A and B are shown apart, each in its own frame.
Chain A
Amino acid sequence: MSVLWIFIAVLGLSLVGFFAGRTRAIASGGGDIRVLHSLPKHYGAFVSTAALLPAVIVLALWSVLSPAMINSSVASLLPTSETSADLALNDVKRIANGLDQAVAQGRISKDASYNFEGTPEEIAKQLGAVGIALGSAPDTATMDAAESYRAKAEKSRFWRGVAVLAASVFALLLALRVTDKEFRARNTVERVVKGLLILSASIAVFTTIGIVASMLFESRNFFAQYPALQFFFGTNWAPNFRGGSDLGILPLLWGTLYISFIALIFAVPIGLFAAIYMSEYAGPKLRAVAKPMIEVLAGIPTIVYGLFALVTVGPLLRDYFAQPLGFGESASSVMTAGIVMGIMLIPFVSSLSDDILNAVPQTMRDASLGLGATQSETIKQVVLPAALPGIVGAVLLAASRAIGETMIVVMGAGAAAKLSLNPFEAMTTVTVKIVSQLTGDTDFASPETLVAFALGLTLFAFTLCLNVLALYIVRKYREQYE
């Protein structure tokens, strides 16, 4: 029984439950719904939920636990060699999967598929016909394991259907039994709904846990193969898929920070001055036009900025600055990525600063103007110092954005890991290397791939600290004027 059919069956039961619960409740009230504790639909919903919820829980548990159990029992059939256990198991699954498909396409009969006679080459050929390419012809142990795997999987699928439907029916009957006019159906249903609400809200926490756990787990695998000291303090980045790689993070961090720094050099003054002009000087007309226009920049996807860096800014900088001044020959450079990222951050800095400047009470400005200060003196000596913590927070948030930005640097910064001061040279960043190590052919056993998780963990830790700090500063700042 496939998941889809189980699901449809359970939904059907739940629908039946709804009407059964309703009817039973109305009957228990002798047809007068006013004597019921809750509305009839609440009783219906209660029975319906009872049919649905336990079944879904059983289904979910089964789907998580059963593959793990099958895997471990099948793995015991295979000749044990520590390193390739995962790979061997993968082969088994692919063969099993291939046989399933061959049966589905009618190439071999179901019976034959469980007792596959023939040389390994024939098997490989059969599987090739359904689109499962094997590296080499499978040996007998693997074939036996595959057969056992398929048998167990099929058995598991059958019992899964039985268990889920049994759970559904059992809970439904139980719910019907307690349904009568005194029963507080609404309160019970609302408790379930509230539970679901809590579950939804908790997804944010689960996501964070998922992020941290997945990266920690793979990073641990990485550090088991590559010394952590060399990773964090190595000054050379030279991955080599044949082994013997140098995987020092320092050149990547340098590129990341250098590019972010240049981006902030562009974005902070422009964004801040734009915000100052908008909140302190601009008339309503200019504000109505300029503010949304600048905020449009924030809605543009980063891939667009990336292309802008690649085809416009990069060649421009190379032809008019780097080459004539003898700084370099590369269109992708720290400068290219930095400027374009700076443009991306302008609206970010300006709208955050705008909010923050607006939070400075008008009475402060009045006090200063009333003393005969010019507007710019008021801004520089009263408004900005008052807003400073908030603005620092905004800049930190912008910095965190810049450090985590991917597409602009992938397309504008280059791929060479270098520790150089020349901003017209191509350099690379942590995010670029995460992308390059995890796309294309990846082998999740080699340090060259796993390093991406360690890079991701570093990036996550870095930006998380910046975000927490920035959010804390901004919140403190707001509280001050509330």
Chain B
Amino acid sequence: MKDIQLENRAVTDEKTKIAANNVNVYYGDTRAIKDVNIDIKSRTVTAFIGPSGCGKSTFLRCLNRMNDTIDSCRVEGRILLDNEDIYDTKVDPVQLRAKVGMVFQKPNPFPKSIYDNVAYGPRIHGLASKKADLDGIVEDSLRKAALWDEVKDRLQAPGTGLSGGQQQRLCIARAIATSPEVLLMDEPCSALDPIATAQVEELIDGLRTNFSVVIVTHSMQQAARVSQQTAFFHLGNLVELGDTDHVFTNPTDPRTESYITGRIG
């Protein structure tokens, strides 16, 4: 893998987008997340790292209430999006998810055309009144996802026919087509080859200008490359949170150091 060093890795915006206070997540009787407090800043890429089963994906899914679809899952504590509690009974998860989009581990395009995949979100949220508007959104999203040049001639071809890397970029385009404010990415590169990974990483860094991005990753190199903030999870605890440079070069917690140096994981 190219060990590229992305430029401009200073945090540009200090405004807090999502604030989690004392969050606990239970699966049945098992406590999967323990008292997590974290602030996620806007226009920043925040990476969640940690060994398998540490709860980083679970916590990510709490941020747009995707855990609601799991019957046995229960969330305690407060998660605020722009100072509004997303677990408040008045909140409609549908509206929340329109603001907090998600990209999944495995590329999961719908068995529809490329165009319909990207247009799906805008259509259900009613973001475009005219065909031309929708065309604009689709083109714009595909451009942002760096996919436009590759697919502009075959927008009606099925999305499932693309290569793995293209599929994942299509899924990113689909997620950003609804203009979310936060984009959650759950190990978006784990199913991709190195070249596709590099493309997606480049894309993630570009997305920072518009969105606040939270990315779960297995790869410390990836976290180092794309993120400005890094959170290290271990056994359901948030062990360390800080500027990526700081966490990787000078971790405060011994567990973080062990993980980074490869002793746990």
Complex Cα spacing A172 to B228, Å: 89
> Is there contact, CB below 8 Å, between B94 and A374?
yes
Label chain A's interface by main secondary structure. Answer: helix
CB neighbours of B109 from chain A (8 A): 367
Query: Distance (Å) between the CB of A477 and the closest chain B CB?
Result: 11
| A-side contacts of B104, CB under 8 Å | 363, 366-367, 370
Smallest CB-CB separation from A362: which chain B residue? B69
- B-contacting 9-mer, from A37-45, A76-84, A218-226, A381-389: A381-389
Task: Write out, one digit per residue, whether chain B residues 5-20 have a CB within 8 A of any chain A CB (1) or not (0).
Answer: 0000000000000000
Q: Which residues of A contact B102 (CB under 8 A)?
A: 366, 370-371
Q: Which residue of A lies closest to B98 (CB)?
A: A372
Q: A284-B71, A366-B66, A381-B120 are in contact. Are A371 and B108 (CB under 8 A)?
A: no
Is B74 close to A, CB under 8 A?
Answer: no
Are B124 and A371 in contact, with the CB atoms below 8 A? yes
CA separation between A186 and B175, bound complex, in Å? 66
A125 at the interface (CB under 8 A from B): no
Contact call B66/A386, Cβ cutoff below 8 A? no
Could you tell me if B175 and A371 are in contact, using CB atoms closer than 8 angstroms?
A: yes
Query: Of the candidates A369, A372, A377, A382, which one forms a contact with B110 in the assembled complex, judged by CB atoms under 8 Å apart?
Result: A382
Whole-angstrom CA separation of A366 from B70 in the bound complex? 11
B229 proximity list for chain A (CB < 8 A):
none
Residues of chain B within 8 A of A283, CB atoms compared = 71
- Expressed in whole angstroms, the Cα–Cα distance for A433 and B151 within the complex equals 59
User: Given A283-B71, A372-B95, A372-B98, is A367 in contact with B110 using a C-beta cutoff of 8 Å?
Assistant: yes
Nearest-CB distance from B69 to chain A (Å)? Answer: 6
Give the interface residue-count category, chain A: 20 to 34
For B144, list chain A residues within 8 Å (CB). none
Which residues of B have CB within 8 Å of A386?
110-111
A459 CB to nearest B CB, Å: 36
Give A277-309 as 1s and 0s: 1 = Cβ < 8 Å from B's Cβ atoms: 000000110000000000000000000000000
Cβ of B120: which chain A residues have Cβ within 8 Å of it?
A: 368, 371, 373, 381-382
Which single residue of chain A is at the shortest CB-CB distance from B184? A370
Q: Are A372 and B108 in contact (CB under 8 A)?
A: no
Q: B222: CB under 8 A from chain A?
A: no
Q: Are B111 and A373 in contact (CB under 8 A)?
A: no
Does any Cβ of B come within 8 Å of A60's Cβ? Answer: no
Cβ–Cβ contact A377 & B108, under 8 A: no
Looking across the interface, which residue of chain B has its beta carbon closest to that of A480?
B111
Q: Given that A367-B108, A368-B110, A385-B111 are contacting pairs, would A373 and B64 also be in contact in the complex, using a CB cutoff of 8 Å?
A: no
B244 touches A (CB below 8 Å): no
Taking the closest CB of chain B, its distance from the CB of A387, in whole angstroms, is 10
Nearest B-chain residue to A374, judged by Cβ: B94
How close is B58's CB to chain A, nearest CB, in angstroms? 14
Asked if B178 is an interface residue, CB under 8 A from chain A, the answer is: yes
Question: With the chains together, A181 CA to B265 CA distance in Å?
Answer: 63
Query: Considering only CB atoms, which chain B residue lies closest to A365 in the complex?
Result: B69
Taking the complex as formed, is A212 at the interface, i.e. its CB lies under 8 A from any CB of chain B? no
**In the complex, how many angstroms separate the beta carbon of B62 from the nearest chain A beta carbon?**
13
Instruction: Name the residue on A nearest B111 (C-beta).
Output: A386
Q: Are B121 and A371 in contact (CB under 8 A)?
A: yes
A281 CB to nearest B CB, Å: 11
Measured CB to CB, the nearest residue on chain B to A364 is: B108
Residues in A with CB closer than 8 Å to B103 are 370
B55 within 8 A of A: no
**Contact (Cβ within 8 A) A369 B66:** yes
Q: How distant is B142 from chain A, measured CB to nearest CB, in Å? A: 16
User: Given the complex of chains A and B, what is the CA–CA distance between A284 and B98 in angstroms?
Assistant: 29
Given contacts A284-B71, A366-B104, A367-B104, contact A373 B110 (CB under 8 A): no
Which residues of B lie under 8 Å from residue A370 when comparing CB positions?
Answer: 64, 66, 97, 101-104, 175, 184
Distance A294 CA – B96 CA, assembled complex (angstroms) = 37
List residues of chain B with CB within 8 A of the CB of A373: 94, 120-121, 124
Asked if B78 is at the interface of the complex by the 8 Å CB criterion, the answer is no
Are A372 and B106 neighbours in the complex by a CB distance under 8 Å?
no
B112, A372: Cβ atoms under 8 Å?
Answer: no
CA distance A367 to B71 in the complex (A): 18
**Chain A residues with Cβ under 8 A from B66's Cβ?**
366, 369-370
| With A363-B104, A363-B108, A386-B110 as contacts: A372 and B178 at CB distance below 8 Å | yes
Is the pair A377, B175 in contact by a Cβ cutoff of 8 Å?
no
Is B94's CB under 8 angstroms from A372's CB?
yes
Query: With A and B bound together, what is the CA distance between A381 and B104 in angstroms?
Result: 19
Q: CB within 8 Å of A: which residues of B?
A: 64, 66, 69, 71, 94-99, 101-104, 106, 108-112, 120-121, 124-125, 171, 174-175, 178, 184
Nearest 9 pairs between A and B by C-beta? A370-B102, A372-B98, A372-B97, A363-B108, A371-B121, A367-B108, A373-B124, A386-B111, A374-B94
Q: 16 A-B Cβ contacts within 8 A?
A: A284-B71, A363-B106, A365-B69, A367-B171, A369-B66, A370-B102, A370-B184, A372-B96, A372-B101, A372-B178, A373-B120, A373-B124, A374-B94, A374-B124, A381-B124, A382-B110
Besides A365-B69, A374-B124, 5 more A-B contacts (Cβ < 8 Å) are: A366-B66, A370-B103, A371-B101, A371-B175, A381-B124
